[in-house]
Structure 1
C-alpha cells in the first residue's frame, strides 16, 4: 500500500459530501485533481470504494470502512502535530463547534481573537439548524454548540455570550399606526416562518401561542437570509433576530414594527455536555470567553442597545 495522507483526506471529503464536485469546492481543488486522487487511491484496492448509479456517487460498504480508518489515521497524524507544538509551549488542538444558522452573525466575533493569538489551533465550525446542532452535541461530535434556546433533554453547562432580541419586522413600504396591536396586525398580514426545528420558529410560535394570536402562515423558509429577502420583497412579516438585520435596518430595507409586546428576549449561549471531559484547548477557550466576552460585546455589538 502506497496511499498518501492527501489521498485519504480527499477520499474522506468525498464520503462526507457524496460528490466529487462538492469535495473539490470544500478542499479548494479542481474537480480533475480530486478525481485523480480518488483514482490513485482506488487503484490500491481490488474492491470498489465508490460507485456511480445514474449520476449519483455512492460510497460502498467497503469504502465506508476505509473512510472510518482514514479518519482515525488523520486524527492520529493531527495528534502528533498538536503534541509537537505542545512540547514547544504552543497551545494547540482542534475545537469543533456546531452553530445554529443565525449564530453565524455571533460566533466568529468570539473566535477570531483567540484563533489569531493561538496559531497552533484549528477551528471547525458547522452552521446548521437547531435540531442538527443538538444532535451533533448529543452524539459527542462537537465540543461546543451555540444556541439561543437550551435543549430540554440534555444535561449541559453553558456560558452566556450576549442577548438575543427578536422583533416583528416588515419592509420599508409598511405604514403603521403606532398604537396597533399585534393580534390585529397578524390577523390581517401574512407571517413568514422559519422551518420546523429552528430556534427562531420555536420562539415565534411560543409567543404567538401565549398571546392567543391567530396568525396566517404565508411561507416557510429554511434560512434567516431567505426570510429576510422575502420580507424585503413584501411577501409578509416575520419575527426575526435583530443580530442579522444590522445592514438592512441601516439601509432602510427593513423596519422594526412598533409592537409594545416585543422584543422577545433570549440569550446566545455556548453550551457543552456536562459530563464531557474538555480538552486543554477547549478549557483555554472557555477561560478566554469568561475574561473577554464583555469587551467583545462592547466592541462589536453595542449597536444592539439602540433597539
Structure 2
C-alpha cells in the first residue's frame, strides 16, 4: 500500500506541469524548500525518483510520467465527485471542459454561449486544439466532452453524430473556374491545392476522395490552421477544401466563393465524443443533452 497524500500529488503535479520548482512554488504559494520536501517525501514513498535533472533543466522520469497520469485521473475523479455531490444536494453548477477541433470552434463557441444562457452557474472551459491533440486529451481524460469529425476506431470512445459537416472547395472570386457548373474532379486535381496537416479530418477526407479517383493528393502547401488556408485562397495561392461552417462570413462578404466540383460537397458529420465508460457530470450530461437536442431540432444540418 502506497502511503502518499493528495497534497503531495498536488505539489508534484504543479512541478510536473511547469518542470520548475520555483514556478510551482509561486503557483501554490509555498516556499521552494517546502515544494522540494513534498516531492522528496513522495519519492521516498514510491521508492523511485519522479524527476531527473540534466544541466539546469528537470525532466520527468518514467515513474514520474506514470504518477502524472494517475494524478490527473485522481483530479478528474475528485471533480466528478464534486459535481455529483452538488447534484445530490440539489445545487446547480459544476464545471465542464469541452475540447473542440479548430475547424469546429466557429459554431462550438455559439453552442456554449447558448448553453451558458440556460446554465449560467456552470464553469465552462473551451479548449481549441488539433485533432491529434484532442484525441490525446480524451485518452488522458483531460476533457469531459469533445466535438470533432468521425473519431478513429480502437480508441475506446463513444461518439454520436449531431450535425452535418459539409466540406466544400473554396476559391478566390476571380478564379478561372468561378461560375462553372459540374467541374470534373480531374480538372480540380490540376489546380494547386492547399491542405491541412497530415492526420486532420479534412486532410483525410481529401486524400480519400483523391484515392477514389485513382489520384494522389500532392498539396502545393500544407497549413495547420483553417484561417491560414482561407487567407491563402483569398490571395490566390491555390484552392482549399474546408468545412462550410468555417467560411460563412467570407462567403457572405464575397471574399471567397465555392466551386461546383464533382464529388462535392463531401457530406460528413460532427460528432459529440467522450471516453467509453466515462461517468458524465451533471453539467456535462446537460451540455450533451443540449447539443443533441439542438442538432435534432435543426434537422442535424445547421445551428
TM range (shorter): 0.7 to 0.9
Q: Pairwise mapping of residues 102-121 of structure 1 onto structure 2 (< 5 A)?
A: 102-121=103-122
- 1:184 corresponding residue in structure 2: 187
TM-score, reference length from structure 2: 0.73
Greater shift after overlay, 98-107 or 80-89?
80-89
- Is the contact between residue 207 and residue 216 of structure 2 (CA under 8 Å) also seen in structure 1? no
> Which segments of 5 or more consecutive residues in structure 1 lack a partner in the other structure?
24-32, 303-307
* 8 Å CA contact 1:99, 1:127 repeated in 2: yes
From the superposition, tell whether residues 65 and 143 of structure 1 become closer, same or farther in structure 2 (CA, over 3 Å): closer
Instruction: Please identify, of 172-181 and 239-248, the stretch whose mean Cα deviation from structure 2 is larger.
Output: 172-181
1:111-150 mapped onto 2 (5 Å cutoff): 111-150=112-151
In structure 2, the residue corresponding to 1:159 is in which secondary structure?
strand
CA gap of 1:163–1:79, structure 2 versus 1, over 3 A, is: closer
User: Cα 1:70–1:265, aligned 2, differ >3 Å: closer, same or farther?
Assistant: closer
After superposition, give the CA deviation of every residue in 1:173-211 in whole Å (9 maximum; x if it has no partner). 212261542312322x21111111100000111111112
The counterpart of 2:260, out of the listed 253, 258, 261, is: 258
1:1-307 aligned within 5 A: 15-16=16-17, 42=35, 82=83, 85-86=86-87, 88-176=89-177, 178-179=180-181, 180-187=183-190, 189-213=191-215, 215-295=217-297, 297=298, 301=302
In structure 2, stretches of 5+ residues that fail to align are 1-6, 41-49
Give distance in 1, aligned partners of 2:67 and 2:149: 38
**2:97 touches 2:143 (CA, 8 Å); kept in 1?**
yes
Q: Relative contact order: is structure 1 or structure 2 higher (C-alpha 8 Å, sep ≥ 6)?
A: 2
**TM-score, length-scaled by structure 1:** 0.72
Give RMSD over aligned pairs.
4.2
Distance 1:196 1:10, change over 3 A: farther
- State the partner residue of 1:30: none
Deviation, structure 1 residue 105: 1.4
Is residue 164–residue 242 contact of structure 1 (8 Å, CA) maintained in 2?
yes
User: How many residues get paired?
Assistant: 288
